Structure 1
Amino acid sequence: MDAWVRFSAQSQAKERVFRAAQYACTLLGHTLQRNGASPTFLASVKRLEAHLSLGRKLFRLGNSADALEAAKRAIHLSDMVLRFCITVSHLNRAMYFACDNILWAGKSGLVPHMDQEKWSQRSFRYYLFALIMNLSRDAYEIRLLMEREANGKPQKGVLAGSGDSCPRPGEDGRLQQLSLRLKLQLRLLGRVLRNNPPLLLDLAKNACDVFIPLDKLGLYKTGAGFVGLCGLTSSILSILAIVYPWLKLKP
């Protein structure tokens, strides 16, 4: 299994490039359709997108083993919340890749009578739950860093050292205090994300990715253009994390 995991890691960058090209075709096809391109050219773009999707599935063959190994490592983390979020995310990714491999067998003709729609919906459900776990992990890490930042530095500007820090009676005073506290939290959030590029990149990537299964499952329809834009953006962010390993969120 170790040898296969190493091989899978080497093909990850190629899969990300194929993914970026696939979603670029999705975005291009939507743009051309809105601008009245010829049906023949649109059909060519859609065929290219389908071939890129099939090629990506080929690169992901066996990625379930990689995800299971990552889950085995994550289960030993000391932080209970991180252990739960990361382990469950990797287990769902393993199931997503397994469904995707079965779907590849159907689309390539190896299993001609497969219900491709059923397996596609099943794979997107696992993908969505994995992304929910990833976003939960990001939110937890942001909360920890914000608490650490708030406890480590004196509060300046918004609530400290001004007459506005004194509570004012009435509804207007409560609303003003709430607004000031919200500004403080937003400034703190911005500082935390600015000082932690791997967390910012992971949050942006997961936030973009989550719209893809939501659209495919019919839970929140956004359209092909938005899905293509989100997929292209998250693919570029993933490639950056591969090219610059220090941008990859750990553990």
Structure 2
Amino acid sequence: METWVRFSAQSQAKERLFRAAQYACTLAGDALRRNGANPALLSSVKRLEEHLSIGRKLLRLGSSADAVEAAKRAIHLSDAVLRFCVTLSHLNRAMYFACDNVLWAGRVGLAPGVDQDKWGQRSFRYYLFALVVNLSRDAYEIRVLMEREASAKRCRGPAARAEAEVGLQRLGLQRLGLRLRLLLRVLRGNPPLLLDVLRNACDLFIPLDKLGLYRSGPAFVGLCGLVSSVLSILTIVHPWLKLKP
């Protein structure tokens, strides 16, 4: 009960729940359409999805300022690559949230002249760029951890060194197999990094579909959004699973 109270007190947690419900509606709506469901039921699911989207945008009001503050803190990171990626990601998130706020104002009637399509495209472009930067940061962290793991393995003894040297000389599938095993070991030993990779990879298909760069269909978009939302909720319930910084 205490965990739920702490979780529900956070606006970000509520937004994640709304997001999970929204993409669940997307997934369910497509499944119902494929099975020839009643048009009235499809319309109800679609309206619920739209209401959840508006509710999410309301909960994200002011998030641009939080993202800018996070970018200011990231400027002081000692690692140059992390400093660049994390700062750029937060700045793009700030622009994404700003566009989202404009869309919310247009949908609720505060700014009826807002071009929803134009601002929606802008929003998803910033979102896409933020995700690309996030995945670049994940790739960098994976590379650093793999190099550290390989270095530690070489230092464990003569047998380990010999195995590592042989591994470096191997070509083709054998060498690829060694790299894949090392990658799996690194990800298994770093759950926060693994969750971040999965979440960003799932989210990536959403703006790609919305911008028309890679059409994957509403069912796949809904599934990706639902999975990434559940993973985000996990990082809120268990803060140690959140990738830092």
Aligned to 1:213: 207
Who is 1:244 aligned against?
238
Deviation at 1:166, TM superposition (A): 11
Aligned to 1:160: 163
Q: Residue 201 of structure 1 aligns with which residue?
A: 195
- Partners of 1:177 and 1:217 lie apart in 2 by 40
Shift of 1:114: 1.2
SS in 2 for 1:200: helix
Seen in structure 2, the aligned counterparts of structure 1 residues 165 and 14 have a Cα distance that, compared at 3 Å, is: closer
Matching residue of 2:45: 45
Paired-residue identity, %? 73
Aligned to 1:233: 227
Q: How does 1:60-209 map to 2 (within 5 A)?
A: 60-154=60-154, 160=163, 177-209=171-203
SS of 1:153 mapped into structure 2: helix
Counterpart CA distance in 1 for 2:147 and 2:168 is 23
What is the one-letter code of the residue matched to 1:87?
T
Matched with 2:54 is 54
4+ residue runs of structure 1 moved beyond 2 angstroms? 154-157, 164-167
Quote the Cα distance in structure 2 between the aligned partners of 1:166 and 1:121: 46
- What is the TM-score when the length of structure 1 is the normalising length? 0.89
Q: Deviations over 1:63-109 (max 9, x none)?
A: 00110010000000010000000000000000000000000000111
Distance 1:151 1:166, change over 3 A: closer
TM-score (norm 2): 0.91
Matches within 5 A, 1:2-41: 10-41=10-41
- Residue identity matched to 1:206: N
Closer, same or farther: CA 91–165 of 1 in aligned 2, 3 Å: closer
Q: 1 CA distance for matches of 2:48 and 2:12?
A: 20
Q: Is the 2:167–2:175 contact (alpha carbons within 8 Å) kept by the matching residues of 1?
A: no
Equivalence for 2:3: none
2:171 and 2:19 map into 1 onto residues whose CA distance is 46
Q: Aligned letter for 1:231? A: G
Tell me how far 1:160 sits from its aligned partner. 2.8
Query: Does the Cα contact within 8 Å between 2:168 and 2:175 map onto a contact in 1?
Result: no
Distance 1:51 1:99 in 2: 18
User: Match for 1:187: what amino acid?
Assistant: R
**Separation of aligned partners in 2, 1:195 and 1:34:** 41
The count of residues paired between Structure 1 and Structure 2 equals 233
